[in-house]
């Protein structure tokens, strides 16, 4: 039985652990924070999403001469150009391209090919890019369409660097050893168990979004898996009755009612998030049964074990993203944002 009482002297250990954690964070992220005092210079009129060979801004496309644009395979693009000496430079940030190159471009009116969805050039304007003006296309949250606002990128990159080191130095070695000891069917069963006990999070958020069928689905799955599925270790609802699980959280509920993501935040330990989804995590915390396990050290241990088990079932995915991406930070940010948009639209 888990004790329901906090031990008074544990506060001393908690303070020591917290101080050690802060010192570790400062030491690990130090290489990534050299640019804190030098915020990047953004070209606000050209910050955009791109297509092959063209740059999109607020519904218009601009031709950028002498810049090769190729897809990175994760929704982003690489921009390659040569300097006066012929040296080639590749970047995935529009705002890091030389201003001379960008101002030389001319705005191009385009249409879209219905079959491919790619832009098709229609007519070329005689004005320069800086002469083209107009209201920006914003959604209800004030962010650029199809783009998440990232004003604290240097800080986010520092914490991305911390999480990256934490994964390769701590989480991956432990998960790899765990994978070798425990067979995959057992690890899948553990994942099923943790998913089953989080039913209140999904069911209540289905209800808040008016998805009555989804609420009923989650209640039915919980009853079936907790009985026939032996306390949730088996997904009997899916295998025996073909009842698919739902994926709802409070962040999606806030988005469902029109609240935009706000700014992008890459939290230490938690990873990619936003202002909206951070509030979502807090809201879901009240519905997570694990958070009510006491003392707190057992709650932390259970969550750590759950994370190790999940990681053991997804080893190689993060490595593949890093290997394929020119800038893993950008790729992870865009993948997170697109995934959240997709879930809210469902």
Unique residue bearing structure tokens 């921009």: 79
Residue 291 lies in a domain: yes
Whether 119 and 201 share a structural domain: no
Does 116 share its domain with 238? no
Residue 53 lies in a domain: yes
Strand pairing of 54-57 and 49-51?
antiparallel
pTM score, whole prediction: 0.59
Tally of CB atoms within 10 A around 233: 17
Residues 158 and 122 in one domain: no
Q: Do 62 and 174 belong together in one domain?
A: no
Express each pLDDT in 159-202 by its tens digit: 999 999 999 999 999 999 999 999 999 999 999 999 999 999 99
Number of structural domains (the chain) is: 2
In a domain, 260, yes or no: yes
Cα(179)–Cα(311) distance, integer angstroms: 9
Report yes or no on 13 lying in a domain. Answer: no
Q: Among 131, 165, 195, identify where a domain stops.
A: 131
Domain that holds residue 109: 49-131
What pLDDT, in 10s, does the model give residues 99-155?
Answer: 555 544 444 333 444 444 444 433 333 333 333 333 333 344 334 345 678 999 999
Residue 64 lies in a domain: yes
Query: Do 112 and 174 lie in a common domain?
Result: no
More confident residue, 25 or 37: 25
Confidence tier at 13 by pLDDT (50, 70, 90): low
Same domain, 64 and 158: no
Same domain, yes or no: 123 and 162 = no
- Could you tell me if residue 314 is inside a domain? yes
Domain for residue 34, yes or no?
no
Residue 340 and residue 234 share a domain: yes
Nearest to 96 by CA among 48, 32, 41, 149: 41
Where among 97, 131, 165 does a domain terminate?
131
Length of the chain: 346
Is residue 173 located within the same domain as residue 320? yes
Of 71, 66, 65, 67, the closest CA to residue 51 belongs to 71
Within a domain: residue 172? yes
Q: Do residues 171 and 227 both lie within one domain?
A: yes
Taking residue 272's Cβ as centre, other Cβ atoms within 10 Å add up to: 22
Q: Using an 8 Å Cβ cutoff, are 199 and 221 in contact?
A: yes
Specify whether the CB–CB gap between 67 and 48 falls below 8 A: no
């Amino acid at each position: 039985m888990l004790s329901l009482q906090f031990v008074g002297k544990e506060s001393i250990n908690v303070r020591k652990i917290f101080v050690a954690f802060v010192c570790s964070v400062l030491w690990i992220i130090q290489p990534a924070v050299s640019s804190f005092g030098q915020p990047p210079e953004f070209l606000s009129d050209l910050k955009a999403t791109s297509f092959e060979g063209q740059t999109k801004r607020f519904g218009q496309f601009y031709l950028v001469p002498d810049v090769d644009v190729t897809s990175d395979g994760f929704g982003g693009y690489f921009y390659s150009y040569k300097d006066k000496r012929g040296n080639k430079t590749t970047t995935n940030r529009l705002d890091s391209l030389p201003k001379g190159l960008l101002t030389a471009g001319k705005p191009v009116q385009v249409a879209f090919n219905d079959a491919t969805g790619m832009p098709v050039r229609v007519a070329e304007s005689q004005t320069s890019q800086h002469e083209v003006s107009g209201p920006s296309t914003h959604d209800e949250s004030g962010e650029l369409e199809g783009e998440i606002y990232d004003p604290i990128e240097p800080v986010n990159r520092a914490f991305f660097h911390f999480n990256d080191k934490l994964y390769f130095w701590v989480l991956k070695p432990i998960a790899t050893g765990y994978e070798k000891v425990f067979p995959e069917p057992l690890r899948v069963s553990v994942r099923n168990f943790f998913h089953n006990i989080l039913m209140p999070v999904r069911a209540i958020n289905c209800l808040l979004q008016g998805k009555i069928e989804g609420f009923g689905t989650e209640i039915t799955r919980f009853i079936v898996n907790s009985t026939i599925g032996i306390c949730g270790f088996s997904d009997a609802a899916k295998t025996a009755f073909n009842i698919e699980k739902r994926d709802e959280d409070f962040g999606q509920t806030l988005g469902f009612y029109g609240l935009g993501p706000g700014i992008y935040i890459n939290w230490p330990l938690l990873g990619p998030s936003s202002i909206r989804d951070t509030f979502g995590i807090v809201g879901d915390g009240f519905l997570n049964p694990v958070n009510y396990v006491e003392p707190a050290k057992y709650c932390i241990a259970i969550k750590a074990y759950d994370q190790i088990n999940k990681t053991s079932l997804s080893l190689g995915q993060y490595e593949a993203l890093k290997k394929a991406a020119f800038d893993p930070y950008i790729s992870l940010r865009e993948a997170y944002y697109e995934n959240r948009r997709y879930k809210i639209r469902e």
